Amino acid sequence: MTWEDMLIKEESKILNALDSKEKKKLKKTMQTAEPTEYFGQDYTKLGELIDMMEGLDLVKDDSKLTKKMKSINEQNVDMVATASKLRKQYEQLYKQLRKLVYPKSAKSLGDE
């Protein structure tokens, strides 16, 4: 973060209206809520587990188990699609909140 970014952030009406304790708490909470690359890792790991289980001879030799694994895989694909959509919505809401707190630094988040 450059000094310019810090100065821009300090011009926030919301931050300026808070006492130092509230300001620190808001900044920390905002930083914690920022979207990360870890959002979808659980779904990826679940997909890997499903793939691994589908590859087991035990599953391949049992038609009921094969059918069950196919159903689970389809459910996981649906969850991943839903998670992607939710991720996009999460990012949009986060950007809106960040823009309220740091109005002049919104361009750094892709808002033009």
Where do runs of H (alpha helix) occur along 1-112? Answer: 3-10, 13-17, 20-33, 41-54, 57-60, 63-101
Q: Which domain holds residue 78?
A: 3-109
Tokens of 50: 């499903």
Kindly state the average pLDDT of the residues 16-39: 88
- Tally of domains within the chain: 1
Whole-model pTM over 0.75: no
CA distances for 11 relative to 33, 41, 47, angstroms: 21, 36, 45
Q: Identify whether the C-beta of residue 76 lies closer than 8 Å to the C-beta of residue 44.
A: no
Q: What pLDDT does residue 37 have?
A: 79
- pLDDT of 31 > 70? The answer is yes
Residue burial 67-84, b: 16+ Cβ < 10 Å; e: rest: eebeeebeebeeeeeebe
Kindly state the average pLDDT of the residues 17-39: 88
Kindly state the average pLDDT of the residues 7-29: 81
- pLDDT of 3 > 90? The answer is no
